[in-house]
Structure 1
């Protein structure tokens, strides 16, 4: 697909414009599976940008740290000016244990460290990766607002925040995007989070739009997990749930065959059809998969096809949670009231 064929969309109401499909870069670093070739990953990023996919997503926790360093290398030689760069803060690993942090000192330290690893002067979209349930969201956003005023970041994003947290954050400074898990097998966000974003004019960035790879090959995916692949711990991939969930893939695959596309293209197209304020960010480490993913932009779905997909992909038709109970997700989290905060 030519670069000009990848349409552009606006995220939020502050002026951020991105490619209608982004590229999730997490898998390019040792986080889910064995190490990847750095030159190959940089070549893939360059191929994505040349293809018109310019919205790149990373985080300080991916690696940890090595994914931002990889992106920094890939952005050399004039590439930085062509992309919309998103990274995240909020998950700190100390002594092998994850801690969620949103206190002002940590926000600032994390941002400075990401700028250094990425080797850039400014981050386009800076997300709070997970919400600190001990720190009022107003306090965290207040520090991010200062970073905007200092020219270190351009736009603020949230990930896995509740509707009330999103509202409170947006009242301090406009939130440009909320990143959430949204796919044919994760649709709980449609009840409250998505409507809240739309009411406030906040863009929506859908991560894991392919069900962490499930909609590429179905249940066979679990056979390819390496020993250190974190997906091994996800309940949906456990044998007792996977056999049931495989039926969902089979039904999606059947519709895809009728449409003349792949199941992953169909699953991605379904996310694209949610609206012009939604940008899915499928991740991959293979050029052929990337090319297939942008092919989803050409798949048109009728209202009848959308309804058919949604009927087979209803919330009660998927077995297993989207994270292991031991993982520190703080899904759709609330924070304490501002009145409770006593600055150190």
Structure 2
């Protein structure tokens, strides 16, 4: 595995980080708790020391699974990345969505990052994760109802108390990052980035490169689309949010398949899967520090981690870039 520092901090994370959204089951058509725990353990065994989770993933389930999985691992050998600012138990802030929890009950989710809420959320996360500190604490989504300085004053307080080590953001644009930085130094921004979703390269990536902020690319496999396992007649499990997304409609799947067919010979040359090739390309991209990769079982987790073993030549990277630019 390769390890990279976040921003100008001394926090080193694995270039492939375990993304624990699907582990929480919510929006992914349920989860098998034991499989999820084994997936985290298996990825750690092959060098993945960083795990990214959030309270909203299964309304606490994902964080509990992470807490359970790392029980037998020395705490200082793993980096826990979690989030705040999405409440399903409090109707305050920006309304985000109607949803159902893992039991099928209706819930309303709000983006809220008020001071008291953040302090409360941190305490809950620490309990579920079975730890006394969080390595990277990230606001999950911008909240237009709370001043950015109020949010990050609360985060500063948590750093002073030793409950968190560093602060990051998710889904912030350059202007919002700049505003947050007036109150607290950020180390990272977690944003969606993939071969078929490169919008952040226009403004956010240049800002992060210039100001030495790490980018944590989430959904680099475009929620499974870039593994090549999704075809036009693919049947999603009930409760799987992907079924209605634009990227999972037949026309987009067909277009993506054309791109993946061009990439196949390069993957085969390296005896790698398409997913592994995509992950390796992602962390070679300018400004991208780590790629978050989710896994439902140990086999998938190890396969994701092994993406690090692909050594792409500059010529191959240029060829892949050409195909991606044509997409």
Distance (whole Å) between structure 2 residues aligned to residue 84 and residue 106 of structure 1 = 24
1:67 to 43, 57, 62: 62
**Counterpart in 2 of 1:174?**
185
Match of 1:101 in 2: 112
- Aligned equivalents of 1:61, 1:147: Cα separation in 2: 20
Q: Unmatched 5+ residue regions in structure 1?
A: 1-5, 318-344
Secondary structure of 2:159's counterpart equals: helix
Tell me how far 1:230 sits from its aligned partner: 0.8
More deviation, 186-195/305-314? 305-314
How far did residue 73 of structure 1 move?
1.4
Distance in 1, matches of 2:233 and 2:246, equals 12
Q: Using the alignment, how far apart are the partners of 2:191 and 2:23 within structure 1?
A: 20
Matches within 5 A, 1:1-344: 6-93=1-88, 94=91, 96-220=107-231, 223-274=234-285, 278-314=289-325, 317=327
Greater Cα shift, 225-234 or 41-50: 41-50
**Structure 1 segments of 4+ aligned residues over 4 angstroms from their partners:** none
Deviation at 1:162, TM superposition (A): 0.7
For the residues of structure 2 that align with 1:53 and 1:224, how far apart are their CA atoms?
31
- SS of equivalent residue, structure 1 residue 63: coil
Q: Which runs of 5+ in 2 are unaligned?
A: 92-105
Cα deviations across residues 301-324 of structure 1 (Å, max 9, x unaligned)?
Answer: 23332222222223x73xxxxxxx
Q: How many angstroms apart in 1 are the aligned matches of 2:197 and 2:142?
A: 20
Contact in 1 for aligned 2:276/2:307 (Cα 8 Å): yes
- Give how far 1:102 is off: 1.5
Relative to structure 2, which stretch is displaced further, 171-180 or 271-280?
271-280
Cα pair 1:222 1:232 within 8 Å, conserved = no
Task: State how far apart, in whole Å, the 2-side matches of 1:222 and 1:231 are.
Answer: 13
- 2: distance between equivalents of 1:281 and 1:303? 23
Distance 2:288 2:196 in 1: 20
Contact 1:252 1:309 in 2 (8 A): yes
TM-score (norm 1): 0.85
2: CA distance, partners of 1:186 / 1:152: 34
Q: 1 CA distance for matches of 2:180 and 2:78?
A: 26
Q: Is the 8 A contact 1:54 1:83 kept in 2?
A: yes
The CA distance in 1 between the partners of 2:242 and 2:282, in whole Å, is: 22
Q: Could you tell me how far apart the structure 2 residues matched to 1:190 and 1:163 are?
A: 11
Match of 2:102 in 1: none
Alpha-carbon distance in structure 2 between the residues aligned to 1:218 and 1:249: 11
CA 1:285–1:187 in 2, change beyond 3 Å: closer, same or farther? same
Provide closer, same or farther for how the CA distance between residues 277 and 245 of structure 1 changes in structure 2, counting only shifts above 3 A.
closer
How many residue pairs match? The answer is 311
Q: Secondary structure at the match of 1:261?
A: coil
When the two chains are superposed, the root-mean-square deviation of aligned CA atoms in Å is 1.9
